Amino acid sequence: MDDCIIVGGGLIGMLAARELSATGLAVRLIERGELGHEASWAGGGILSPLYPWRYPAAVTRLARYGQARYPALARCLYEESGVDPEWEPSGLLVPSASEYDAARAWAEQQHVELEHLDADGMRRCEPALAPMGEGGLWLPGIAQMRNPRLVRALRVGLAGSRVVVETGNPVQGLRVNAGRICGVDTARGPRAAGQVVVAGGAWSAGLLAALGPPPPIRPVRGQMVVFRAMPGQLQRIVLHGDRYLIPRRDGRIVVGSTLEEVGFDKSTTGEACTSLTQAACALMPALSDLAVEHQWSGLRPGSPEGIPVVAEHPRVRGLFINAGHYRNGVIMGLGSVRVMVDLMLARPPVIDPTPYDYPVM
Ligand SMILES: Cc1cc2nc3c(=O)[nH]c(=O)nc-3n(C[C@H](O)[C@H](O)[C@H](O)COP(=O)(O)OP(=O)(O)OC[C@H]3O[C@@H](n4cnc5c(N)ncnc54)[C@H](O)[C@@H]3O)c2cc1C
């Protein structure tokens, strides 16, 4: 019997496995497919909510926790796995100053560096961008990571750890006895544990539905495309309206993203490709000379206000949920895992868990 089973091997499940194992617990991570092949692979890896001043304090709290710790985690994962997750302090440029007052108030409160640039400043900053005629906002402290590399580094790190990893094994049900979790049923048979964590991303509500009304976590499809540009052609993350450009170290430029309520359909569409490409070329005209190298999609675990549920189940002791990170699971993941591990081990919380409580439905 394990101390703890984690259901779902996305970024949240893998980070949770890593942290729980580090406390000395015997941890089993069960994934129905491959580790890190769903939303956590598909994401852009921007280490900040977009327009961070628009978000509730509960999101900011987890994001700030992650921002302070990702550089060290990236170094540590690189040393452990030989895979560089490419933490890169690219900064975020917003070529519009219409939200300057709100952004400045937020930045002052959070001690985040924010600059207002005029049109000339914008041009000097990123000459490859189309002139927009107005100034913009510059947040130099915002970094990025490359998702496929981050999940690969975590996967390799786990392979060399004490965590028992089962892939290709769907969890089919939760085993409860007298109001206490005692394990899970899987396609390969039952697995017993004293504690279970549901980290099933967009699929989490389905895993919890047999125990009463689940939290309102739903899939929200996001499509992305990537261009293969030259290294340095664009240096900063650029956010305009609901579209963004992320320059990777090797010159590739990732363009995101759509927000689509289409259930668990992960297909990509020509319409999204056209819309993303047009937005990207309008922002950076040189992209018009390049073909889209690849298009993909992922299912975000959507939740009200983007606040994840990180809590013990109200009716089943020992069953914990860490899901619903919506658009910001990479940057909120470290903080949400910290909240969860503190709850599981009954440690004094480093972050107040109240905003992430299981919703009473
Ligand atoms: C296009 C796009 C862009 C994004 N950009 C960013 C960004 O720039 N910054 C940021 O912070 N976040 C971003 N995100 C959000 C972020 O990727 C997600 O919030 C995060 O990856 C969620 O992680 P997760 O582990 O909860 O979910 P997932 O990665 O989806 O993992 C859940 C896992 O659970 C497994 N599972 C489900 N059911 C079962 C079962 N019954 N048995 C066993 N296993 C099961 C699944 O197979 C899956 O591997 C983006 C997401 C998308 C789609």
Residue nearest to atom 52 of ligand 1 (CA): 43
pLDDT in tens, 214-250: 999 999 999 999 999 999 999 999 999 999 999 999 9
Same domain, 194 and 290: no
Residue nearest to atom 50 of ligand 1 (CA): 43
Same domain, 28 and 111: no
pLDDT band at 132 (very low <50, low <70, confident <90, very high): confident
User: Does some domain include residue 47?
Assistant: yes
Residue 240 pairs in a beta bridge with 243
Residue nearest to atom 35 of ligand 1 (CA): 8
Can you give the pLDDT at residue 133? 75
The rounded Å distance from CA 323 to ligand 1 centre is: 9
Same domain, 188 and 202: yes
User: Does some domain include residue 169?
Assistant: yes
DSSP 25: -
User: Does some domain include residue 24?
Assistant: yes
Same domain, 113 and 199: no
User: Does some domain include residue 130?
Assistant: yes
Distance CA 129, CA 120 (A): 12
Are 237 and 91 in contact by the 8 Å Cβ rule? The answer is yes
Q: What would you report as the CA-atom Rg of the chain, rounded to the nearest whole angstrom?
A: 21
The rounded Å distance from CA 80 to ligand 1 centre is: 23
Can you give the pLDDT at residue 361? 64
Express as a percent the part of the chain with pLDDT over 70: 100
CATH code of 31's domain? 3.50.50.60
Structural domain that includes position 136: 92-140
Same domain, 267 and 297: yes
The rounded Å distance from CA 296 to ligand 1 centre is: 14
Same domain, 206 and 309: yes
Same domain, 58 and 156: yes
Residue 23 pairs in a beta bridge with none
pLDDT in tens, 49-60: 999 999 999 999
User: Does some domain include residue 80?
Assistant: no
The rounded Å distance from CA 119 to ligand 1 centre is: 37
The average confidence (pLDDT) of the chain is 97
Distance CA 155, CA 90 (A): 25
The rounded Å distance from CA 72 to ligand 1 centre is: 22
Are 200 and 232 in contact by the 8 Å Cβ rule? The answer is no
Can you give the pLDDT at residue 134? 81
CATH code of 236's domain? 3.30.9.10
Same domain, 36 and 159: yes
Pocket of ligand 1 (CB under 6 A): 7-13, 30-33, 37-40, 42-46, 170-171, 199-203, 207, 222, 224, 256-257, 298, 300-301, 323, 325-331
Q: What value does the mean pLDDT take over residues 339-358?
A: 98
Residue nearest to atom 51 of ligand 1 (CA): 43
Same domain, 196 and 312: yes
User: Does some domain include residue 311?
Assistant: yes
Ligand 1 atom nearest 30 alpha carbon: 43
User: Does some domain include residue 82?
Assistant: no
User: Does some domain include residue 43?
Assistant: yes
Dig out the tokens for 115 from the structure: 């600059």
Ligand 1 atom nearest 299 alpha carbon: 53
Residue nearest to atom 37 of ligand 1 (CA): 200
The rounded Å distance from CA 7 to ligand 1 centre is: 13
Ligand 1 atom nearest 37 alpha carbon: 49
Same domain, 64 and 153: yes
pLDDT in tens, 100-130: 999 999 999 999 999 999 999 999 999 999 9
Same domain, 249 and 284: yes
Same domain, 12 and 96: no
Question: Which of 277, 301, 325 delimits the end of a domain?
Answer: 301
In total, how many domains does the chain have?
A: 3
